[in-house]
Structure formats: C-alpha cells, structure tokens
Structure 1
Amino acid sequence: MVRSGDSHCGAPKGYTLTNFESLGVSKPIVATLFQLGIETPTPIQEHSIPLLLEGRDLIGLAQTGTGKTAAFGLPLIEKLLADERRPDNRTTRTLILAPTRELVNQIAESLKKFIRKSPLRINVVVGGVSINKQQLQLEKGTDILVATPGRLLDLVNRRAITLTAVRYLVLDEADQMLDLGFVHDLRKIAKMVPKKRQTMLFSATMPKAIADLAGEYLVDPVKVEVTPPGKAADKVEQYVHFVAGKNDKTELLRKSLTENPDGRAMVFLRTKHGAEKLMKHLENIGYSVASIHGNKSQGQRERALKAFRDGSVKTLIATDVAARGIDIPAVSHVYNYDLPEVPDAYVHRIGRTARAGRDGIAIAFCAPDEARLLRDIERLMGIDITVASGEAPANMNGAPRRANGNGNNRNRNGGQGREGQGRGEGRGDQNRSEHRGSRQERRPRREGEGSEVRAGGEERRPRPERPTSRNEDFRGQRRGEAAPNLGPDNDLASTSDFRPSAKPQRPAHANGEPSGHHRGNSRHAHGRPARKHGEDRGPQQAQAGEPRRDGNGGNRRGGSGSRNGGQRRERA
C-alpha cells in the first residue's frame, strides 16, 4: 500500500532540480528533448524521474497535461536502451495501459518523438482498427506496447502476444479506467504479467478504488502528488450560469463563442446523442465545429482532433469518455454544457485548459435539476464557483428537491438521463400519478363499432400480438439479420416494414366456408376433385394443358417441383 512517509508533495528537499540531465537523463535524450523545445522538467517529471530510475514502484497524482507521459516515458527509455537485449517474438518488455484509443495514440506519438534514432520499437493496440494487422505487427516482438485493456486481451486470447516478458507496467489515467469498468480486465492482465516487475500508476484523483488497485499492483510504492486530488489548475477561472432550461444553455454558448472568435473551446455533454445534436445545430448556424463521442469511428475521431489541433476547427463537442486524456495545449475555454454525474469528471474537463502556463476559462451551465451536481462539485473542490448570471436555486444549500417537493428524479424534470436526451422542457409540476390520472379510461368496444368488413361479409380479424421469439434488442431486426446501427431517436420500430408479419388469413369463400379447407375429403373449395397425398395428376389433366410436377409424386417438399429448388416443367 501507499506509505504516507514516502509521499513527495510540492518541492521537497533533494528534488529542487532544474534540468533533465541533473535528473539522470542521458545526454542523447536531453539533446532530443531540446530539439523538441523541452528544456525544463515539470513538477511531476522533476519528482518522478529520479525515483523511477532507482527502480521504485510509484503512484503519481497529477492532472492531464502536466507532463506525465515524459515522467514515466523517459525513465523507461533509459532502462530499455541500457539493456541491449531484443524482445522475443510475440512478447513485449514494457506494457502501458490507457483507457481510450485517443490517449493510447497520444502516448505512443510522444514516446516515438523521444526515441528518435534509437532501435526501440513501439506498437499500439486499440479497438476500432484491424486486429489482424496488429497481430502481424506483434509477430517480431516489441519493446513498448501501448494498449487499451480490451483489445490487449483479445490479442492474448489469439496468442498473438504473451505478457510473460513484461518488466515495466504503466497504468495511465487509472481512475478513468476504473470508471469505464476495466477493473476486471486489469485483474486478468495482472495475473499474466510477472510478479517481479516495476509498476507505475498515474491518476488525477485518488479514490479508495485506486488505493485498493495500488495495493494489488504495486510493491512498497512511493507517492508523488503534484496537484492535490479534486483541485484544478490555479490559472483556470471558473464561472457558472444558472439557467431555466436547455434553450438557455444553447443561447449562452452561442453568445460566448461569438464574443471569443479567436479562442479554442471544448464543450462537454453527458450523452453521445446530445453531443451530436448540439454539433449539428452549431454547424447549421455557421460555427466551425466538430464532435467526438462513442458513435464516431476511429477515423472520424482522429480527423476531428487533428482539425481541432490545427485550428481549422475552433470548437470541439465531446463526451467525457471520448475526450479523456486528450492533450491540446491551446484550449482557451471549457464549457460544461451538461454538468457531469461524477464530480471528479468536472476536474478532468476543466483540466483541458490553462496548460503549458496559459490562462483558461471554465464555464458551467446549471439547470435547476443539476443543482445537486454543482453542489457536489463545489464540495469536492472546496470552493464556491463564481456566479456569472442567473440565481442559484433554493435547493443548492439543502437536499435536492423539485419545484413541488416530490423528490429529485432528474428525468422527470426534463433533464438528461444516462442513455439519452431528456423530454424537453420538463413537467416538474406534475407527478407520475397525475399523468396517469389524466388518461381517459379505455371503454369496451361496442358490438360492430370500429370494425371493418371485407368483401364477402367477413369481418377483419384483429392483428395478432407481437411474437415473443423476435429479437427485441434491435428495432425491426428479424432473426438472423445483422443488427441495424440505430440511434436512440430512430423511429424504424414503428414502420410497417419492421413489424413482424402474422400468417396471412385467406378470405372466406362466397359460400361462407373458409378457403383452403376441404368440404369432406373429396373436393377442393374451387370444385376440382382432390388428389390423395402422393397421387400424380392423371392424363386428362395433363392433356388439358395443366402443368405437371415431375418427381416426388406432386409432393411439394423437395424434388423438382419444390418451391425452393426446382422449376416447373410443362408436359409435352
């Protein structure tokens, strides 16, 4: 477990170092850093690099964008270069795990810049791209493997790589991996790597789950804490606008973007659907905007990030999952269009601005049903966020409640739920019983009322109930069909093409007897004598020009007369 006596916070004695060479980094790598414009180590680098070069397990607590990649990457490169052994086929000497594809790619790109003109190999393993291509790349082994846990386990199961040669293990953004549900994958991976290894865990926060994880992975670790958990960068100015609803949020966002045309902004929402909807709205009214969320392909996300980094797109709409770990130094504004459910996520969001010594502004929009979320955020950070406009609701200082005091269900107030958009302006003044009570009771249908009569006097039969064997997880998907990629607002489920068709009912014959049923055993409903099962047509029928089925004696199941296989042949 973490020992408080080993904690290094601030600038302790013995660590007041000002350049990388004095930290123990070799001259060739220092020269490479100088070419990249990196001359002075950040606090997390200054405190971590000497300890990692000593071989200590380490817990690093720092926000995204503080230089964590170099903090663990430079010591790893030094140790790998010192050991001239090459990795065996389908093995790796170093394993770095991160929660998202974007963060994995970002880490790999940074490390590749540090190892210019060196023989070290770096490979990336993420979902969303060809697993076969990744399998081929791992065939000759690799020095550093940067991966997401899920795709790594897929490749392990394919025997494309083994983890028995791992000497260095890094868990980056560990708190985010736990939030995304990777804890079981991490435990599986922990059993595959050797116990004799050096482990580094980096996180922006230190909840109990991270402490428990550190106890499983690390041995006698030292903790380096640069920014206390729950604290934002000092140069971030934070403001909150209290609004009545979603329309007010959109108008305030539009006004702020217009007033800051040269700024680069990130806008965070809770849902994929909400992010895409807001992006299209801003794009339609003339703003330069892109979006990244879980419904975007890997290529779409990479192109959106590249455009945002290059400046061709000024505003990036994102969800928390898609934007975790992204390092874009020039972000001037962060907008919390929706307040996050988890207070720690707010700290991660606003940490996207005020990087590399720059100033930043974080603006939050708070609807009445989000008051408890804002209160939890302020409690975590130990501050009162400055009110820019509006008035704080009465429930900010007490238990969250609705306008009529009937509980705190956010979805009933028109807020957004976990899986999609809320119901618009909300109906907070009506409880569920009132909604049900306003419904008219269905009265029994009177005889003959509302029924349709078909030709022949037969009354239309009611539609049969929907069969339960249908796959209900996908709207309109018939058994055996591929699942359509439908959004939560798709209405294909209500179209006739996607309803299960009941077996058609044949209309009744004019004499009132159902069509298709024999009167007795001798004749069909149309008056022609009935054949016995297996009996072939007689010569009289053949001479009359009626088609004959060859084979199987007229049995419709198989043979050349079958519906599925053969074709009917006319008898000469």
Structure 2
Amino acid sequence: MAMRVMNFALGPLGRWRPFAAVKWRHMRRTFATNPDYIGQDPYSSSGRDPYAPRRRFDQGGERRPRRDEEDFSGSFEGSHRGRPPLTGGGMPDRMGNLGQNLRHLNWEEERLVTFQKNFYNEHPEVMSMTAEQVTAAYKALSANVEGRKPHPRPVMSFDHLSLAEDLLQSVRSSFDTPTPIQSVGWPTALSGRDMVGIAQTGSGKTLAYVLPALVHIAAQPSLSPGDGPIGLVLAPTRELANQIHSEVVRFTEGTRIRSTAVFGGVPRYGQAADLRRGVEILIATPGRLLDFLEAGTTNLKRITYLTLDEADRMLDMGFEPQIRKVVSQIRPDRQTLMWSATWPKEIQRLARDFCREDPVKLTIGTEELSLNPNIEQQIEVVGEYEKRDRFMSWIKSVAADETKVLVFTETKRGADSLCRELQYQNLSANAIHGDKEQRQRDRTLFDFKSGRCNILIATDVAQRGLDIKDVAFVVNYDVPKTLEDYIHRIGRTARGGAKGTAVTFFPADAYTPDMIRMARAISKAVRDVGQVPPKELLDLGGSRR
C-alpha cells in the first residue's frame, strides 16, 4: 500500500499543519489586507480574480480604476490610488516610467516620406497692405507678433483665405469674421512655419490650428499599411481631446481624412482598432498614446504636423516627461505649433526644444492670464448658512427658460449633493466629476451640449477643455483656490466673441489668509476689465480703492 508523503509547517498556535494549508492561509491574508492586491485571486496564475467586482476601492474609500480604465489624462482625481510618484522636482510624474521602453530612433537611417509645408497663397488685398496698415491691424486685434521676419500679414476676412468653398462654409457657420488668433494664426500655420500662440480661453484657437492641419494633411501622400497618422494634437484631458475630435469630424465629413481620439478612462480596444486601420489625424492625451506606442499599435514616423494644445495645462499636470518621450518619436523636420494661455519659463523652454529655427510668437492681449472683458462678473458675498438658499433662488430665476448654466463645486460630494437638490426642485441637472465613468461623463456632456439638460454641476475636471458656445452663466458655487482657476472657470462662457455672465458666491465669514488673498485677486481682476467689485468683497480683501 503506497503511503502519501506530505510536508508539514508550523502553523497558528504552534500546531503542525500541512505546508500547503499554511502557505495558502498566509496568501489569503496577504491578498485580503494589502491594498495592492485587493480584487486579485491568490490561486490564479494571472493574479486577477475573474469574479471579483469591477469596482474596487482602496483603504481611503476611493474607487481604484481597472488597468484598462486608468486615467492618465485628467486631474489627480482618477489617478491610481491618488498617489502619483514624484519626479526630480515640480509637479509629480503621474505616469512613472511609462514610455521607457520606446526605441531611440536614428532619423538619418529612417526612410521618411517627403512632404510639403507651405500652402499659403496671399490674397491680393492682403498683399497690398502697407506697413502702416499692418501695424494698425495688429493694434486693432491686440496682437503682438515676434520672431523671424517676415511676419505674416493678418487676414481680416474669410475671403482672404484660398480654401475650398465647402470648408469656408463650415467655418462661416461658426464665426462671422476671423477672431484675432485666427487672423494671424491661419497665415502663419498655412505658411508651414513653427509658431507659439498665446491667447485667452474662448478665443477660437482650436479652429486656428485644425483648419491648417486639414489643408496640410490633404496634400500629403496617402497612408500605406502600417503607417501612423500625419497630424497629431496632444491635449491634457480626455474632455478636451473629445472636443477637438468633434471639431475635426465636423470639418472632415465627406473627405478621405480619418481621425480618432485616444485617451484614458475607457477600454483601449476600440481606440487600438482605429489606429490599426489607419487615421490621418490623431488627437491624444500623453499617457494613452505612450501606451499604444510601447505596444507597437501605432508609430509617429509619418507625423509632419504637431500641435500641443493647452501646453501650460499639460505642464501643470506633470506631463512634461511624457510629452518629451512622445516628441522623440516624431521626425525633427515636422511643423510644430504650441498653444497656451500663459508664457511661463517652462513653456519657453519647451518652445526652444521643440520648434525649429525661430518660431513666430503670436500673443493676443498679454502674456499673463487675463479675463475676457465680454464676461459680466457678479460677486455675491453671502454667509455659508444662507448660500444654498440664495443659490437655489437665483438659479430658479435664470434656468426656467432652458438657459444653460455651468456650476463649479470644490468637491465631488458637493457636486452630487447639489445635483440631487436641483433635481428634487424639478430642474434638469446633471453632475460630472472624476468618480464618474467615462461613458457616463460623455453622456452627461452630450445631454448638456444638446440641451436635454441645461444645468451642469462639475468639479474642476471641467475647468478647461469644455467649449460649449451657448453657456450663458458660469457659477462658482465654491470659490476656486487660485486666480488662474477662477479665470479658467469663468472662461467657459462668452466663447468665440459671445457675451456671458459669471456669478461667484463668496463666503462672507471667511477670514482665512487664502480667502483674503482671493478676495483681493478677484477684486483686481474685476477692475482690470472696467467693472466695479462690490463693497463687501473689497472689505473682505481689506481694500477700498
């Protein structure tokens, strides 16, 4: 009779137990208590329990996204366990070593497609402008142009652009006349020159680089199997990437130009399929794009038109290492366009590193972040105990006629709470923040844009990148932490030259240093655009000038 030989180990209470039982008991305890292993199966070779719930939570109660859902493209709200690794200085590197396996490319050995850059034919009326007329036009546009001469003459009418009539008709449906950033940006970009554009939010800069991109891409050789895209737009958030993609789709309908957007927060399978089929223009957030590059799903060897949108925002979010990795995979003789709302030293360094020769630097207004004078600012100084009632009374008076209102809160819980109360009052309201799944966020934004819902409550996830032209009111239910956040929030209204109103509920009993600083900053910002701050706000800031 054969005997079964078993190994024994010292288990709990000093009792000898079979080794396998002690081993698996220890592993179960590890997987149950260590947050790194929550939702995983110690018995499976892959480490992932197929029957584990899809919504996992860490020790702090925050939802931890699945691997195919990780948000490398928004605020820190959706990042893995909320603790991104730190880099050598400045903002955290939110993606760690993502992209470290990319192959270094020797461009002298690569077989590159010959491409054309200059597509600009100057209109006779523009060509006949004298130097004095050009200077007067720049002054009227509040534009300052620097860089290697000759500087482009501004186009003051859509008729000055030699474009296909169907494309011009689409542009005319969005704007009556070119905005200042478009008047100078279009001839610069169409000429094939590198440029840096600095303009306030809502200035129409998306179309300022999308239109030349479409002209540039249409003139290049067709894609071959295995080719990557020809045009690339890098954006900081998935909302902005989606918005840019919508604009591209609107202007490429009925053409051979295909496009897609890749970003975190959603499964990658559909995005990967689009890339494998081939697209001429790609809109991407840095993290998800690096993921696809490492996997070999696509490549950037055909990129000849590179755009960095909201470059200052990407640096604020710690994306500089990832941007540099992406750009290292793009041929150096490309055309590069950078767009930013400010001109800090970090942006200047990127411009020196990425742009060839001496780029055209176009500034509309000032290099400092400035307010849109088309926004009427209303400051309501109220006590915290009466803020909710004042807000409810105010919004009922403006939202009854389906006017679109965008409301900002400080916390996700606050956004959900305010949304529930508005819905209880039979108002059409939805909330959007980092805990919402991407599909739900997309549906909420679509409902708001289409008018099915006219009140949107959001955390700072919507602070930048939302371009909804008919938002009549922006409300700061909670005061933002910085003046920059205040300017970007209220910049969601008065888009594309329209008028808008921003309402801020400022706490009357907040005497902390931060609130006093914000009272002074907002008072100055209101005065800078020729408006008068309320007496109560001046009192809070200790200024009665």
Q: Specify the alignment match of 2:230 in structure 1.
A: 93
The answer to whether the 8 A contact 1:90-1:140 is kept is: no
| d(CA) in 2 for partners of 1:381, 1:184 | 37
1:16 shift after superposition? 4.8
Q: Specify the alignment match of 1:376 in structure 2.
A: 521
1:328 shift after superposition? 1.0
The one-letter amino acid of 2:157's match is N
The answer to whether the 8 A contact 1:205-1:344 is kept is: no
Q: TM-score, normalised by structure 2?
A: 0.66
The answer to whether the 8 A contact 1:172-1:203 is kept is: yes
SS at match of 2:280: strand
1:205 is aligned to 2:342: yes
Structure 1's 29 and 243: CA in aligned 2 closer, same or farther, altered over 3 A? same
Q: Specify the alignment match of 1:44 in structure 2.
A: 181
SS at match of 1:138: helix
The answer to whether the 8 A contact 2:526-2:533 is kept is: no
| d(CA) in 1 for partners of 2:227, 2:433 | 32
The answer to whether the 8 A contact 1:231-1:381 is kept is: no
Structure 1's 389 and 283: CA in aligned 2 closer, same or farther, altered over 3 A? farther
Spell out, residue by residue over 1:51-75, the C-alpha distance to the aligned partner (whole angstroms, 9 max, x if none): 1111111111223332212110111
Spell out, residue by residue over 1:189-209, the C-alpha distance to the aligned partner (whole angstroms, 9 max, x if none): 122222221111112222332
1:160 is aligned to 2:305: no
1:230 corresponds to which of 369, 373, 381: 369
Q: Which runs of 5+ in 2 are unaligned?
A: 1-134, 144-150
Alignment of 1:363-512 (within 5 A): 363-367=503-507, 368=510, 369=512, 370-379=515-524, 383=528, 386-388=532-534, 390=536, 392-397=538-543
Spell out, residue by residue over 1:354-390, the C-alpha distance to the aligned partner (whole angstroms, 9 max, x if none): 2344321111122214221232344567638644584
| d(CA) in 2 for partners of 1:378, 1:15 | 38
Range with bigger deviation, 373-382 or 140-149: 373-382
Q: Specify the alignment match of 2:443 in structure 1.
A: 303
| d(CA) in 2 for partners of 1:40, 1:385 | 27
| d(CA) in 1 for partners of 2:341, 2:187 | 21
| d(CA) in 2 for partners of 1:214, 1:378 | 33
1:257 shift after superposition? 0.6
1:343 is aligned to 2:480: no
1:295 shift after superposition? 0.9
| d(CA) in 2 for partners of 1:28, 1:312 | 30
The one-letter amino acid of 2:434's match is G
The one-letter amino acid of 1:234's match is P
| d(CA) in 2 for partners of 1:59, 1:374 | 33
Calculate the aligned-residue CA RMSD, in Å.
2.7
Structure 1's 87 and 296: CA in aligned 2 closer, same or farther, altered over 3 A? farther
Structure 1's 371 and 385: CA in aligned 2 closer, same or farther, altered over 3 A? farther
- The count of aligned residue pairs is 391
1:95 shift after superposition? 0.9
| d(CA) in 2 for partners of 1:256, 1:182 | 39
Structure 1's 53 and 387: CA in aligned 2 closer, same or farther, altered over 3 A? closer
1:29 is aligned to 2:161: no
1:118 shift after superposition? 1.6
1:180 shift after superposition? 2.1
The one-letter amino acid of 1:249's match is K
| d(CA) in 2 for partners of 1:218, 1:9 | 26
1:242 shift after superposition? 2.0
Structure 1's 394 and 70: CA in aligned 2 closer, same or farther, altered over 3 A? closer
1:341 shift after superposition? 1.9
Q: Specify the alignment match of 1:252 in structure 2.
A: 390
1:114 is aligned to 2:263: no
The answer to whether the 8 A contact 2:204-2:496 is kept is: no
Q: Specify the alignment match of 1:240 in structure 2.
A: 379
The one-letter amino acid of 2:456's match is L
SS at match of 1:332: strand
The answer to whether the 8 A contact 1:125-1:152 is kept is: yes
The answer to whether the 8 A contact 1:371-1:393 is kept is: no
| d(CA) in 1 for partners of 2:186, 2:537 | 48
1:141 shift after superposition? 2.5
The answer to whether the 8 A contact 2:235-2:285 is kept is: yes
| d(CA) in 2 for partners of 1:348, 1:240 | 16
1:243 shift after superposition? 2.5
The structure number with the bigger radius of gyration is 1
The answer to whether the 8 A contact 1:58-1:222 is kept is: yes
Q: Specify the alignment match of 1:430 in structure 2.
A: none
SS at match of 2:328: helix
Q: TM-score, normalised by structure 1?
A: 0.63
The one-letter amino acid of 1:232's match is L
Structure 1's 348 and 395: CA in aligned 2 closer, same or farther, altered over 3 A? closer
2:495 corresponds to which of 342, 349, 355: 355
The one-letter amino acid of 1:330's match is D
1:315 is aligned to 2:460: no
The one-letter amino acid of 2:394's match is S
The one-letter amino acid of 1:376's match is A
The answer to whether the 8 A contact 1:289-1:314 is kept is: yes
SS at match of 1:335: strand
Range with bigger deviation, 94-103 or 200-209: 200-209
The one-letter amino acid of 1:372's match is R
Structure 1's 357 and 376: CA in aligned 2 closer, same or farther, altered over 3 A? closer
Q: Specify the alignment match of 1:509 in structure 2.
A: none
Alignment of 1:12-27 (within 5 A): 15-27=153-165
The answer to whether the 8 A contact 2:463-2:485 is kept is: no
Q: Which runs of 5+ in 1 are unaligned?
A: 1-5, 399-572
Structure 1's 233 and 160: CA in aligned 2 closer, same or farther, altered over 3 A? same
The one-letter amino acid of 1:23's match is L
| d(CA) in 2 for partners of 1:395, 1:67 | 34
The answer to whether the 8 A contact 1:103-1:325 is kept is: yes
Structure 1's 331 and 192: CA in aligned 2 closer, same or farther, altered over 3 A? same
| d(CA) in 2 for partners of 1:395, 1:378 | 8
1:149 corresponds to which of 256, 263, 286: 286
1:290 corresponds to which of 414, 426, 430: 430
2:213 corresponds to which of 58, 76, 89: 76
Q: Percent identity?
A: 37
1:135 is aligned to 2:272: yes
| d(CA) in 2 for partners of 1:234, 1:196 | 39
1:169 corresponds to which of 306, 316, 328: 306
| d(CA) in 2 for partners of 1:365, 1:31 | 42
Spell out, residue by residue over 1:385-429, the C-alpha distance to the aligned partner (whole angstroms, 9 max, x if none): 64458464555449xxxxxxxxxxxxxxxxxxxxxxxxxxxxxxx
The answer to whether the 8 A contact 1:9-1:224 is kept is: no
Structure 1's 90 and 295: CA in aligned 2 closer, same or farther, altered over 3 A? farther
Structure 1's 346 and 395: CA in aligned 2 closer, same or farther, altered over 3 A? closer
2:327 corresponds to which of 187, 190, 212: 190
The one-letter amino acid of 2:480's match is P
The answer to whether the 8 A contact 1:241-1:389 is kept is: no
Q: Specify the alignment match of 1:60 in structure 2.
A: 197
Structure 1's 76 and 358: CA in aligned 2 closer, same or farther, altered over 3 A? closer
1:144 shift after superposition? 0.4
The one-letter amino acid of 1:325's match is G
Spell out, residue by residue over 1:496-537, the C-alpha distance to the aligned partner (whole angstroms, 9 max, x if none): xxxxxxxxxxxxxxxxxxxxxxxxxxxxxxxxxxxxxxxxxx
| d(CA) in 2 for partners of 1:295, 1:24 | 46
Structure 1's 58 and 380: CA in aligned 2 closer, same or farther, altered over 3 A? farther
1:279 is aligned to 2:419: yes
1:286 shift after superposition? 2.9
